Structure 1
Amino acid sequence: MMLSRRTLAIALLLLQFRGLVSFLEEEEEGSMPREWVLLHVVQGHIGAGNYSYLRLNHDGTIVLHMHSLKGDADLYVSDKTLRPSFDSYKLQSATCGQDVVVVPMDFARPVGIGIYGHPSHRESEFEMRVFHDQTAPQDPFDLGSEDGQKQKKPTQTADENFEEEESIFWTILIGLLKIILEILF
């Protein structure tokens, strides 16, 4: 009688745990914005200290959402090399758990994606979801334009303004020195 109660209690706990896990998975999937379109789901294993490489050809703003199911997989992204690593990358996410990288639309395609198995674990298992972010404007020149007209206003940084003021100062100073030298000689 005592054994069956324990078995029943363990079975109930396992069912609750399973329900909690499925609830959390549904919450995770539901937490993505509706404007994100799921393009791919990639699952894989990677050994400690090794890389697995993927290539991204989709245009637009792409969100890479990787979850380490076992171990610790890290994400490295580059538009300069198809084999990014922790030595050569443009974007990276190296957390213990969920790694998210937003690949901007202005990255040259194809984009190289490197998945690195952290040496703290013998093997890492990951699942990466690739989303297209439809909320990002497709034309970078449409930002701030009025009535659909493409306008680009020149902007100056503080350094450029300082150099311009310095240049005017030196021009005036040299002009005054020339006048003084002509008067004296």
Structure 2
Amino acid sequence: MAAPWRSALLMLLAAHAVAFASCSEEEETPEEWVLLHVVQGQIGAGNYSYLRLNHEGKIILKMQSLKGDADLYVSDSTLHPSFDDYELQSVTCGQDVVWIPAHFQRPVGIGIYGHPSHHESEFEMKVYYDRTVEQYPFGEAAYSPDGAEPGQRHRYAPEDTSQEEESVLWTIVISILKLVLEILF
């Protein structure tokens, strides 16, 4: 009877090791991205910290929760975005990434929310400028890659959904591993 538990525990430990190894590797950034800022901070549970982005062009925000769970909300209509009022968001338990399009009005409001599941969250956010130029065959005003009207905003993109699902899956696997380890030790 102990053999099935032992093999299940080994499988969970192996999954945790793979997740840890993939998280600990330094992610490569494309050559077209220029690092503009690195912001580090702490945020209490249920609180917001606000930043203002004035840089023009396509901007990428990559925020890593170093401790706890910090979430990211972005808006060009308010300087104090929240989980009730935002245009873009990333609310994963690990790395949060938001792509801010060039057509967003500046300044852009950035809200960092400390998830209540942790007393305090520490984060590091890297702000990148994307130098790539999108080539449109008939000009930017006449063509939209997803068929939407130019300037139309979306709450989320379909490709973001798979990243969120993957993050949720890893969160569940790690939670199960923690539970098994607590029971055994």
Output the amino acid matched with 2:44: G
Number of matched pairs = 125
Could you tell me which of 96, 101, 118 is aligned with 2:98? 101
Alpha-carbon distance between aligned partners in 2 of 1:86 and 1:151, rounded to the nearest angstrom: 31
Counterpart amino acid of 1:117? Answer: G
Matched residues in 1 for 2:133 and 2:23: separation? 28
Code of the aligned partner of 1:55 = R
**Equivalent residue letter for 2:73:** Y
Identity of counterpart residues, as a percentage?
67
* Root mean square deviation, CA, Å: 2.5
The amino acid that maps onto 2:94 is G
AA of the residue aligned to 1:110: P
| C-alpha contact (below 8 Å) 1:77/1:113 kept by paired residues | yes
TM-score normalised per structure 1: 0.62
Q: How does 1:102-121 map to 2 (within 5 A)?
A: 102-121=99-118
Q: Residue 151 and residue 43 in structure 1: after superposition, are their counterparts in 2 closer, same or farther (change >3 A)?
A: closer
What TM-score do the two structures reach when normalised by structure 2?
0.62
Q: Which letter does structure 1 place at the counterpart of 2:130?
A: D
1:53 aligns with 2:50: yes
Contact 1:61 1:136 in 2 (8 A): no
Q: What is aligned with 1:132? A: 129
TM-superposed CA distance for 1:61, in Å, is 0.3
Q: Which residue of 1 is the match for residue 84 of structure 2?
A: 87
Q: Cα–Cα, structure 1 residues 151 and 124, in superposed 2: closer, same or farther, change >3 Å?
A: closer
User: Looking at CA atoms only, which structure, 1 or 2, has the larger radius of gyration?
Assistant: 1
For residues 137-166 of structure 1, what are the alpha-carbon distances to aligned partners after superposition, in whole Å with 9 as ceiling and x for unaligned?
4xxxx6214xxx88848xxx9xxxxxxxxx
Of the three residues 54, 70, 74, the one matched with 1:73 is 70
Residue 38 of structure 2 corresponds to 41
Structure 1 residues 119 and 32, CA gap change in structure 2 (3 angstroms): same
Q: For the structure 1 residues 151 and 41, does the alpha-carbon distance in structure 2 shift closer, same or farther, using more than 3 Å as the test?
A: closer
Name the structure 1 match of 2:29: 32
Q: Which amino acid aligns with 1:28?
A: E
Q: Deviations over 1:8-53 (max 9, x none)?
A: xxxxxxxxxxxx98x976x424x11111000000000000000000
Q: Deviations over 1:79-132 (max 9, x none)?
A: 000000000000000000100000000000000000000000000000000000
Distance 1:96 1:136, change over 3 A: farther
Q: CA deviation at 1:135?
A: 1.1
Q: Give, in whole Å, the separation in 2 of the partners of 1:99 and 1:52.
A: 15
Alpha-carbon distance between aligned partners in 2 of 1:150 and 1:120, rounded to the nearest angstrom: 43
Give distance in 2, aligned partners of 1:79 and 1:45.
Answer: 24
Change in Cα spacing, 1:122 to 1:33, as seen in structure 2 (3 Å) is same
